[in-house]
Structure 1
């Protein structure tokens, strides 16, 4: 009888401790959103990633607040625990040690080497690039685990897409690496679509919301996003959203 009473007291005590923990499930998330990656995210805080993340979290009754910053700044803000997460991050060796990722990617996106149409192709593929070739990339971006192993490249780092394109158009670079959907947007908006073309693929990445590894709220927030994304895929809203930028950007 005494043992039963002790067991009952222990169970009550455990329930008392767990109750506030269960009640503190996050109801809001603060994100760093890139300012120069349309159609996924732009300087006005709009884009496909914004809409998708808000829709997914709305199914979990979680409010989304975004701060629009350069991509590299968003990564640092997340690591400094000033925001909960940053979106459109590729999961690869260089990022998995820095951030916590959920199971459901936001998108799958491909990137290519782009060059001027008036020039002969710079190479047959990325592994046969000639020595000393000048290649432009964006500061802080991920370009796949293979990119750092490419021989012969002289890297130039730009702070925004306009600077990257300008360096190519003024012959200061031989090629730039751009994500294809983003490149299509910028080439069209700047009126130089006929002057620049993708010569060969660099990589394809799954893009995620990358969470602060040091925050206790990151695990439940990542789990909530996973549930929301799965729900959107099941009800067809996810597919409708992707259709807004065509059929080339799809996830499995």
Structure 2
């Protein structure tokens, strides 16, 4: 087709033609959902596509007309699928994980990760430095997570470290601790306390200390989805501007009791018979 671009009418026609093409491309792009995955890490990422990071991420895209598909898969597998371009992003990643896997950082902090230690009530163990671990009988962590260079090295070098895997590895570690399989579990305080409440085991665990500083968490996108990372950042800014960001954050400030999230509570309860 020949377009008489040199005439005024031709220029107007060309502009309309280009706008139609851009509209078509935009519709096609938004028709393809952004594929996002993570394991369960409540209250950040919870069952049934809840959790404040999940809600913020979904709304950041939806407010711009972009649909989202969430998948719940183990953390290590999620990173593999991200590298294969089978998904577009993984939630709540540390800067180290993003750099190590050569991902695109959306540069929006969605939370903070801390390395916290829990024992059974009645224990007098406390943890603030690496040498405090030397007297522990059995330490349980989640496989695939990084706890910092020093702690990772210690865990990998000591045979009394148990690396949990599966769909709900933290829940398994908590139950094993209560059953006497471990003397201490390691994780994020918010996540441990939330999961413990869902298992009705809060009264049996005690906080035993924290090692290192809090680390910011981000959404990591694969190298093929730079546009997705930009859209996410823009969406978060829009949510902050209209007040929706704070409303979502406020919903998750207080840890719910064991009956307030029936889906999550029911999901975690299925692990209990295994250890009876």
> CA-atom RMSD, angstroms?
2.7
Q: Distance in 1 between matches of 2:95 and 2:29?
A: 24
Check whether the contact 1:91–1:207 (CA below 8 A) recurs between aligned residues: yes
Deviations 1:136-193 (A, max 9, x none): 1112223234432448853211121221112211222221112122111111111111
In structure 2, the gaps of 5 or more residues are 1-5, 7-13, 256-276
1:236 aligns with 2:243: yes
Check whether the contact 2:105–2:219 (CA below 8 A) recurs between aligned residues: yes
Residue 224 of structure 1 deviates from its aligned partner by 1.1
Q: Distance in 1 between matches of 2:92 and 2:99?
A: 14
In structure 1, the gaps of 5 or more residues are 6-11
Structure with bigger strand share is: 1
Task: Tell me the equivalent position of 2:206.
Answer: 197
Check whether the contact 1:89–1:142 (CA below 8 A) recurs between aligned residues: no
Deviations 1:56-114 (A, max 9, x none): 1122221111122122221211112111111122222x441202211112222433111
Structure with bigger helix share is: 2
Secondary structure of the corresponding residue to residue 48 of structure 2: coil
Check whether the contact 2:118–2:184 (CA below 8 A) recurs between aligned residues: yes
Task: Tell me the equivalent position of 2:263.
Answer: none
Q: Distance in 1 between matches of 2:118 and 2:202?
A: 11
Q: Distance in 2 between matches of 1:50 and 1:130?
A: 34
* Farther-moved stretch of structure 1 (151-160 vs 234-243): 151-160
**TM-score after normalising by structure 1:** 0.79
1:183 aligns with 2:192: yes
Check whether the contact 1:30–1:84 (CA below 8 A) recurs between aligned residues: yes
